[in-house]
């Protein structure tokens, strides 16, 4: 069955491919580089070009987002003190490969969850990883919160153990209610879990000079996915985390992120430049 799944390169769904193709420069070496060679991005070159024409820094912003996840992993994964990692909405992104390659002794198990591609992704990983690596692929709808915890438990997840939840590139596509319901699964009495996530800003938080580009980008993305995207300012995000009884650990604009990654700002100088922010919170 696995060989049948892998007879041809895996054709990536357009919404996943938009992000993965932009991020590909980050995955040139190691296991992730081998993984990318097994993917077929089909016709997304045209889509990618359209997004880059709409906003010349689109790819850079996405790569900064992913690089900052790695930056935060350095803070929250401690070698020799392994914890669980859970990636809802994992898609085909090889973040878990990066984690296993660079933070293996800091991780007891990785749980990837998505509504599609998990069996094939598992087969691809089996080609690249030695036997016995503690990674689990769960094909499930992350908004089906009535069954999600059960599916996680069946795979070996323990709600009693500290967990790092990486919720990257997901909140733009789910309502407040679905976000809260999903996060409730990861709540702990003593806030021993940590959530890392990004969110897109509303138009009134974007510098006026950048708003035409912002409107064009959002309009194109919403047309492409055939639905709405959801955007938040800091106060709205703080309110949601407050409803979860969480505690904010850190929040960064793309201006902050660029400075932390590079030691200087070359593209993003104002709050709201880059159209997104990233937040870490205890839950």
How confident is the model at residue 4, as a pLDDT? 41
Instruction: Please give the span between the terminal C-alpha atoms of the chain, in angstroms, as a whole number.
Output: 40
Q: How far apart are CA 112 and CA 118, in angstroms?
A: 8
Report d(CA 225, CA 112) in Å as an integer: 23
What are the residues whose beta carbons fall under 8 Å from the beta carbon of 49, sequence distance 6 or more?
none
Q: Which residue has the higher pLDDT, 14 or 180?
A: 180
Least confident of 132-136, 200-204, 216-220: 216-220
Look up the domain containing 67 and give its range: 2-282
How does the average pLDDT of the chain come out, rounded? 89
Average pLDDT over residues 272-283: 96
Q: How crowded is residue 53: how many other Cβ atoms within 10 Å of its Cβ? A: 11
Measure the CA–CA gap between 199 and 281, rounded to whole angstroms: 13
pLDDT at 36: 86
pLDDT at 178: 93
What pLDDT, on a 0 to 100 scale, did the predictor assign at position 5? 43
Query: Is the pLDDT assigned to residue 170 strictly greater than 70?
Result: yes
- Cα–Cα distance for residue pair 283/262, rounded to 1 Å: 30
For residues 88-107, give the mean pLDDT.
93
More confident residue, 81 or 171: 171
Q: Are 107 and 166 in contact (CB under 8 A)?
A: no
* % of the chain at pLDDT higher than 70: 92
Length of the chain: 283
pLDDT tens string 18-36: 788 888 889 888 898 899 8
The Cβ of residue 188 has, within 10 Å, a number of other Cβ atoms equal to 15
Q: What is the mean pLDDT of residues 182-192?
A: 96
Q: 196: which strand partners?
A: 166, 280
Q: How many CA atoms lie within 13 A of 180 on its CB side?
A: 13
1 band by pLDDT with thresholds 50, 70 and 90: very low
Nearest to 181 by CA among 148, 139, 215: 148
pLDDT over threshold 90, residue 148: yes
Instruction: Check pLDDT > 50 for residue 245.
Output: yes
Residue 266, C-beta contacts closer than 8 angstroms, at least 6 positions apart: 258
CATH code of residue 238: 3.40.50.150
Q: Quote the number of domains for the chain.
A: 1
The reported pLDDT for the residue numbered 43 is 61
Q: Check: CB of residue 133 under 8 Å from CB of residue 160.
A: no
At residue 92 the predicted structure's pLDDT band, cuts being 50, 70 and 90, is confident
Q: What percent of the chain has pLDDT over 90?
A: 66
The token duo for 151 is: 């599916």
Question: Phi-psi region for residue 226, left (φ > 0), alpha (ψ -120 to 50) or beta?
Answer: left
């Amino acid at each position: 069955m696995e060989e049948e799944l892998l007879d041809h390169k895996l054709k990536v769904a357009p919404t996943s491919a938009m992000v993965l193709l932009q991020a590909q420069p980050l995955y040139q070496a190691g296991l992730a580089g081998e993984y990318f060679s097994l993917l077929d991005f089909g016709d997304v070159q045209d889509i990618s070009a359209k997004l880059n024409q709409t906003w010349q820094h689109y790819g850079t912003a996405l790569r900064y987002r992913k690089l900052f996840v790695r930056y935060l992993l350095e803070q929250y994964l401690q070698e020799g003190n392994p914890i669980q990692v859970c990636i809802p909405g994992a898609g085909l992104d090889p973040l878990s490969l990066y984690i296993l390659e660079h933070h293996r002794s800091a991780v007891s198990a990785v749980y990837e969850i998505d509504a599609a591609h998990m069996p094939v992704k598992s087969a691809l990983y089996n080609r690249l990883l030695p036997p016995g690596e503690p990674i689990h692929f769960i094909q499930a709808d992350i908004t089906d919160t009535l069954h999600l915890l059960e599916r996680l438990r069946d795979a070996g997840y323990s709600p009693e153990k500290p967990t790092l939840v990486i919720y990257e590139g997901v909140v733009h596509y789910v309502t407040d209610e679905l976000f809260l319901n999903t996060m409730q699964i990861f709540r702990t009495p003593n806030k021993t879990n940590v959530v890392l996530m990004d969110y897109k800003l509303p138009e009134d938080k974007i510098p006026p000079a950048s708003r035409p580009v912002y409107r064009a980008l959002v309009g194109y993305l919403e047309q492409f996915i055939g639905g709405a995207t959801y955007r938040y300012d800091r106060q709205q995000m703080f309110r949601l985390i407050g409803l979860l009884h969480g505690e904010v650990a850190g929040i960064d604009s793309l201006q902050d992120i660029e400075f932390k990654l590079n030691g200087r700002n070359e593209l993003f100088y104002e709050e709201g430049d880059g159209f997104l922010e990233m937040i870490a919170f205890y839950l």
